[in-house]
Amino acid sequence: MPTKRTLLLAAPAALLLTACGFRLRGVPEFSFDVLLIAAAPSSTLARELQRTLEGSGTKLTVLRDLADLPKAQVGLELLSEQRERVVVGQNASGQVRELQLRLRVKFRVRGANGSELIPETELLQQRDISYNETIALAKEAEEALLYRNMQTDIVQQLLRRLAVVKR
């Protein structure tokens, strides 16, 4: 059971937190009701973005078929999605010891009338990973997990950027 002294010390801290503007990030609110995601059918990023938008609890309708373009108020075009694997460290005998994984996504957002709401933009996520050829299968699984995490980070960035779009 907290003492009076503990409560007296905790009260000012609680007031300071509310006064500084701290607030948990909530569900994004969009200024449009229908969004078309134009991407390759095999794009895992587009599928995750669609699932995230549909599961966010907003009234947003997400379309993926380009035939539905006239129904969309805003269109998100995923222009490219590129995975890179770069060697950044080697040992004395030339064996790879460290890699850098990169995920680059280029996109743009257009309004229903074709106006550019967000010009072509590139998002980049990168992670460093050690490498050892004796445990190559484990490193391959770790690599896949890191790519999934980078993809999720990029989806969150896209959500925040879509939330500020004014049509």
Confidence of residue 137 (pLDDT cuts 50, 70, 90): very high
- C-alpha–C-alpha distance, residues 76 and 79, integer Å: 9
Confidence of residue 162 (pLDDT cuts 50, 70, 90): very high
**Residue-wise pLDDT tens digits, 69-80:** 899 999 999 999
Crossing angle of helices 44-54/136-163, nearest 10°?
A: 50
Amino acid at 85: R
- CB-side neighbour CA atoms (13 Å) of 57: 3
Please give the C-alpha separations between residue 25 and each of 31, 152, 156, in angstroms, as whole numbers. 18, 16, 11
Predicted local confidence at residue 166, as pLDDT? 85
Domains of the chain: 29-164 (3.30.160.150)
- pTM of the shown model: 0.81
**Strand ranges in the chain using DSSP code E only, listed in sequence order:** 34-38, 61-63, 74-90, 96-111, 116-130
Instruction: Give me the mean pLDDT over the 29-45 stretch.
Output: 94
Q: b/e for 29-49, b at 16 or more Cβ within 10 A?
A: ebebebbbbbbeeebebbbbb
**Residue-wise pLDDT tens digits, 14-26:** 666 666 666 666 6
pLDDT at 3 over 90: no
Instruction: Give me the mean pLDDT over the 75-92 stretch.
Output: 94
